[in-house]
Amino acid sequence: MSIDMSQFYQVFFDETAEHLASMESLLLAFDPDAPDADQLNAIFRAAHSIKGGSGTFGFTDMADVTHILETLLDRIRKNEIALTREMVDVFLQAGDVLRGLLDAHQNGAVADESASIEICAKLEHLANSPAGGTKPAASRAVATPRASMQHLYKIQFANSHTAFPSKSYLDNLLDDLGNLGKIENKTITANAVNLSLTTYASEADLREIFSFFLKPEQLTITAQGETVFGKEITETEQAYGFFDEPKPAKAEVEDYGFFVDPGTIKSGVENAQGYGFFGEEGNQVQPRAPVLNVRKDDVPGRRTTDRVAAVTGADTSIRVSVGKVDTMINLVGELVITQAMLAETVSGMDPVLHERLVNGLAQLERNTRDLQDSVMSVRMMPINLVFSRFQRVVRDSAGKLNKKVQLKIIGEGTELDKGLIEKISDPLTHLVRNSLDHGIEFPDERVARGKDPQGTITLRAAHQGGNIVIEVSDDGAGLNRERILAKAKEKGMPVSDGMSDTEVWQLIYAPGFSTAAVVTDVSGRGVGMDVVKKNIESIGGRVEVTSRHGLGSTVSIRLPLTLAILDGLSVAVGDQIYIIPLSFIIESFQPKAGDVNEISGQGQVVHVRGEYMPMITLHRVFNIKPKITDPTEGILVLLETEGKKVALFVDELVGQHQVVIKSLETNYRKVVGISGATIMGDGRVAMIMDVGSLIKLSQQSRE
């Protein structure tokens, strides 16, 4: 009987990506001059886990790299060789290579064999080179006897059909153990296996072998003693086991392990039935963790029951594909729309005659909104998933530019929709690189200006109302107004010396615009800032720049919390309803007769508190028949985008709504000036305006 391992590939890919991210984060925070043992052990465990999983699934290229990496890390944590900054750099490179190999295996691409060979050579060189930081002979002598130290282990593990589908599986495991040492006192029952093993191998090595067959709770290893050059060490320890003496376990081979007699279990010992705990008195106490119902179809390849198991730990989690979450969100959105339709229908009924119906629908509305908020929170993830990767960007880029830069992160726990997190990664990367290259000065320049030679880039995230604001700021030289204007004039852009700073800063988003004198590996080609702006605006966000010469600059990005729900103002034009996102609205008002004027060749403008603003007549843009043609009888909605203000002329305001966004492109086609659609309570489809595109469309029509 053979097991199809491909069904577990995705779990391996996800867990390995997490291990690589954890390893990189630890390495970036690591101080080679004062190494932290806990951090070093955590890095080692991450590499060890990747090696074990890679070997299990047959990804030998990844296993080869991590084997050498793990060996080097093990020698470092045993003080056989000293850690150096060069090693940290190579470890980070090894992480990059492993990530590339993982992507290749995940996407069915051809892995870069040369990169694997190169990084393996670098790791081998560090492990064997005297310059790698070899400790004095006295230090190495301490570790030498360990290679000649024998351990005596008492081992007990479950003999379950899940772990060993046939006798050959158990025989293979026993053969592996026999290759490591001498097996004695072996007893095999239908439910458990007991044996003694004398070996030079460590307990970690043994657990790695067992990990291919068993879960940790199905295994007990008890160290009985050690012998060095024939002399027995009387020290004994309980290790990770949960039995005083190996006894035949009363095993019911089911679920995830075997069930033991409570009489054999000590205080705080993990019970294999579920994962509950037993108290000091030997009586079972209430589990201190959430209850999780594991069903038969939840874990591929494992025979489980509907038994409710208490899972240890403060939190529990399950892996669910984003597609399933999106489907659930879409269904809840449909539920919200249906509830709104029912509310619209009931609004015309007598509330006294239909009191129970009205009250029931009111309760349904509250429950629907709570359900919607709860489901939406499933997609919300901490923005640190993006922020954390910039530690590496800043470290590597600063080294290339010969600058000293530190990265500060504030508000990394702020949550944002997963879809938005994926979309802002590239824009933020470009902004951070720009701050590194154009913003932060070289150390000698900073000292000459009375600054700390080390510059600081700050990533900050915070919630403001129904939006999230992300800032990328630096304490560098700031934007140079004169240089930007000179470059704009050189490129033939319509600029003047009387422009405000805000208008000047907007010039840096022009395609191909760059004030860099030299093109570097980091930036300076004039591509990127315009893409940053387009990408942010495409997801309903806005970008603003502030700068103070000599003190630094800040780029602020304002985004909606999610792409699935929108707070908007519904307006009517003729028989049509349109939704304007609230984030673009400044105010709405009804103008007086003298406030609206006609400018030849420019169309109509409206006077608002000493400022003239262009007016967009919505029924002309979309070529529909309005109910009102005189602006003084209708409503003007003042909008702001890209630093520009315009007044939108509509028939009337309908109300403020939280609407569920539906893709118009998926269900119909792309329409200029429209970003999506929603279904109103009366069943009508309302278009959601793309304010930036609408303004450009209006300008083109006037021209």
How much is the average pLDDT of 300-324?
50
User: DSSP code of 435?
Assistant: I
Residue 578 pLDDT class (50, 70, 90 cuts) = very high
pLDDT at 269: 34
Instruction: Reply yes or no on whether the pLDDT at 314 is more than 90.
Output: no
Of residues 637 and 111, more confidence is placed in: 637
Instruction: Reply yes or no on whether the pLDDT at 300 is more than 70.
Output: no
Residue 150 forms beta bridges with which residues?
227
Q: Are 470 and 565 in contact (CB under 8 A)?
A: no
| Choice among 101-105, 153-157, 266-270, 423-427 with the minimum mean pLDDT | 266-270
| Choice among 59-63, 593-597, 598-602, 616-620 with the minimum mean pLDDT | 598-602
Of residues 34 and 518, more confidence is placed in: 34
Q: How does pLDDT run across 58-95, given as a tens digit for each residue?
A: 788 888 888 888 888 888 888 888 888 888 888 888 88
Q: Are 618 and 566 in contact (CB under 8 A)?
A: no
Q: 3-class DSSP state for residue 322?
A: helix
- The CA-based angle 80-84-88, given to 5 degrees, is 110
pLDDT at 160: 83
How much is the average pLDDT of 616-644?
86
Q: How does pLDDT run across 4-24, given as a tens digit for each residue?
A: 666 678 878 888 888 888 888
CA distance 63 to 49: 10
Residue 303 pLDDT class (50, 70, 90 cuts) = very low
Q: What percent of the chain has pLDDT over 70?
A: 79
Of residues 298 and 502, more confidence is placed in: 502
How much is the average pLDDT of 434-461?
91
pLDDT at 642: 66
Of residues 457 and 417, more confidence is placed in: 457
How much is the average pLDDT of 353-376?
88
Measured from the Cβ of residue 138, the count of other Cβ atoms closer than 10 Å reads 7
How much is the average pLDDT of 551-570?
84
pLDDT at 528: 60
Residue 673 pLDDT class (50, 70, 90 cuts) = confident
Of residues 534 and 512, more confidence is placed in: 534
CA distance 343 to 351: 12
How much is the average pLDDT of 276-297?
34
CA dist list (Å): 621 to 259, 648, 698, 701: 73, 11, 7, 8
pLDDT at 25: 84
Residue 636 pLDDT class (50, 70, 90 cuts) = very high
pLDDT at 541: 81
How much is the average pLDDT of 643-669?
83
Q: Which two tokens stand for residue 575?
A: 């028989």
| Choice among 371-385, 478-492, 517-531 with the minimum mean pLDDT | 517-531
Instruction: Reply yes or no on whether the pLDDT at 442 is more than 80.
Output: yes
Residue 268 pLDDT class (50, 70, 90 cuts) = very low
Q: Are 647 and 606 in contact (CB under 8 A)?
A: yes
How far, rounded to the nearest angstrom, does the alpha carbon of residue 131 sit from its chain's CA centroid? 39
pTM higher than 0.75, yes or no?
no
* Assigned CATH topology for domain 565-702: OB fold (Dihydrolipoamide Acetyltransferase, E2P) (2.40.50)
Closest CA to 603 of 468, 695, 683: 695
Question: What phi and psi values does residue 611 have, to the nearest 5 degrees?
Answer: -125, 135
Q: What percent of the chain has pLDDT over 90?
A: 10
pLDDT at 178: 80
| Choice among 523-527, 580-584, 641-645 with the minimum mean pLDDT | 523-527
pLDDT at 309: 35
Instruction: Reply yes or no on whether the pLDDT at 220 is more than 80.
Output: yes
pLDDT at 195: 92
Q: Are 325 and 317 in contact (CB under 8 A)?
A: no
Pick the CATH number of 383-560 from 3.60.110.10, 3.90.1170.50, 3.30.565.10, 3.40.50.140: 3.30.565.10
Q: 3-class DSSP state for residue 645?
A: strand
DSSP letter for each residue of 619-638: HHHTT---S---TTTSEEEE
CB burial of 34-61 (b: ≥16 within 10 Å; e: otherwise) equals eeeeeebeebbbbbbbbbbbbbebebeb
CA distance 626 to 617: 10
CA dist list (Å): 167 to 103, 215, 574: 36, 18, 79
Question: What phi and psi values does residue 490 have, to the nearest 5 degrees?
Answer: -60, -35
Q: How does pLDDT run across 32-54, given as a tens digit for each residue?
A: 777 788 888 888 888 888 888 88
Q: Which two tokens stand for residue 214?
A: 């068993």
83-87-91-92 Cα dihedral, nearest 10 degrees: 120
CATH superfamily of 5-135: HPT domain (1.20.120.160)
How far, rounded to the nearest angstrom, does the alpha carbon of residue 154 sit from its chain's CA centroid? 43
pLDDT at 456: 93
pLDDT at 191: 87
Sequence-ordered list of residues with C-beta below 8 angstroms from that of 465, at least 6 positions apart, any chain = none
CA dist list (Å): 8 to 54, 370, 632: 12, 35, 67
Sequence-ordered list of residues with C-beta below 8 angstroms from that of 129, at least 6 positions apart, any chain = none
- The CA-based angle 217-223-72, given to 5 degrees, is 85
- The CA-based angle 268-270-271, given to 5 degrees, is 120
CA dist list (Å): 7 to 12, 304, 424: 10, 17, 32
Question: What phi and psi values does residue 607 have, to the nearest 5 degrees?
Answer: -95, 120
CA distance 139 to 682: 80
pLDDT at 173: 82
Q: Hey, which bits of 502-602 come out as E strands?
A: 542-548, 552-560, 565-573, 576-581, 585-589, 596-599
- Tokens 């229908």 sit at which residue? 345
Tallying the residues shown for the chain, one arrives at 703
- Tokens 């900054």 sit at which residue? 85
Instruction: Reply yes or no on whether the pLDDT at 244 is more than 50.
Output: no
Which residue blocks in 524-602 are alpha helix, DSSP H?
529-538
For all residues of the chain together, what is the average pLDDT? Answer: 76
CA dist list (Å): 232 to 229, 235, 453: 9, 9, 59
CA distance 371 to 348: 26
